[in-house]
Amino acid sequence: MNRRNWIAVASAEHARRGRDHAGVGFMQVGHGKLAPLQRVAPGDRVAYYAPATVLRGSDKLQSFVSIGVVQKGDPYQVEMGDGFVAWRRDVGYAAAQETSILPLVDHLDFIEDPKRWGYKFRFGLFEISDHDIHLIAGAMNASIRALNL
């Protein structure tokens, strides 16, 4: 199986909502858009990065909040209220500790220029290397077994 690794970007509040959802967790990216979720497949690993605690927040949380494995099944729609319908994928999140990205900046492959390390996060969802997902999982004290690493 050719597993891929991803970083998804959301506020910590939103990432935690997906991680802590009753039953199975979920991921939602790009304000509920379908297209990014179609790039992700069951068995892929995803780490959520939160630049701030709340959407459009001014605090600099700059932390990885959750990490897990995309579950079987296709993206599906969920009514969020007030007529807003978002696309999601199910994710089995591993037990992990939230951790700052700052100690990892100089060691992550996807960061081309440590002085401009935040640039890539503007994409909302992007693929990363096995090296990087291992480094993030280690920093979060995540279960290697749960992530199939």
Q: Is residue 146 part of a domain?
A: no
| Residue-wise pLDDT tens digits, 128-141 | 999 999 999 999 99
Q: Is residue 16 part of a domain?
A: yes
| Residue-wise pLDDT tens digits, 32-77 | 999 999 999 999 999 999 998 887 777 889 999 999 999 999 999 9
When pLDDT is cut at 50, 70 and 90, the band that residue 82 belongs to is: confident
Q: Is residue 144 part of a domain?
A: no
What distance in Å separates the CA atoms of residue 48 and residue 42, rounded to the nearest whole number?
A: 17
Domain containing residue 107: CATH number:
3.10.590.10
Q: Is residue 149 part of a domain?
A: no
Q: What is the pLDDT of residue 14?
A: 92
Q: Is residue 48 part of a domain?
A: yes
pLDDT at 84 over 90: no
What distance in Å separates the CA atoms of residue 75 and residue 107, rounded to the nearest whole number?
A: 32
Name the domain count of the chain: 1
Q: Is residue 145 part of a domain?
A: no
Interval 71-91 mean pLDDT: 92
Q: Which of 87, 65, 72 is nearest to 24 (CA)?
A: 72
Q: Is residue 54 part of a domain?
A: yes
Structure tokens at 24: 């199975």
Q: Is residue 148 part of a domain?
A: no
When pLDDT is cut at 50, 70 and 90, the band that residue 1 belongs to is: low
Range(s) of the domain holding residue 48: 5-139
